[in-house]
Structure 1
């Protein structure tokens, strides 16, 4: 009983301390549109999946651009892995992982809302042949996190640039 009570007190004090310092959990971007069409990605693209997972619940992904408020067109979705460092004997010591996304945001009629933009993340990862399987798992996790980070950056951009899209959609055409 005493341990449970002590745990409760510590949890409450920790919550108060975090609230007092201005800490807040990251919230999804508030997008000013409710329907998004995603096109240009290869089937089963991990980047497209990361983007879908990052979307707030208020946004629905639609299949046809004509049914969407905005259209996200992927121009390039690429992952590169290069050697960043090696020993004098030619053994790899470090890899450089790079995820690149070039995209454009269009209105449903095809006119551009946001010109072609490129987001890119790079991470260096140490490597050892004696732990190759563990490093392969580490690489997969890093690349997954990089894609999720790019998706969050993209949503922040859409939130910032999409405000005019939402306002234009709310105003009748003259």
Structure 2
């Protein structure tokens, strides 16, 4: 394959670590409405790996104990920001807010200068999830900033 050819990408999925993957699967399906594609359980019935779906996107997750992080030389996972594109961010916000109850209500969706309306919520494993609705292709950058798109530069 030459450097000019694109690889045959088939998709991209985050692979997230949780100390309790069973609880993470339950939380992500209940709060966000993800669907479970497959789970692998150990002899005690605890999830050690699972694949969840968010529309056509997949989220892989695994349960790991403190020994995993000790072997890596770190105290534990640092968390990750995951962006989920949605058609109606306000509707998704209401779903999440209702599912969480009084546990941890996220800040309401906010319009962003890059043409998106977003809100973010943290899961029990310390990962952040930003739900993103693209509302405009118009970008409002501060004076002096610029937009660079594959060979095209636009001053703002």
TM-score, with length taken from structure 2:
0.28
The structure with the largest alpha-carbon Rg is: 1
Q: Which has the higher contact order (CA 8 A, sep 6+)?
A: 1
TM-score, with length taken from structure 1:
0.26
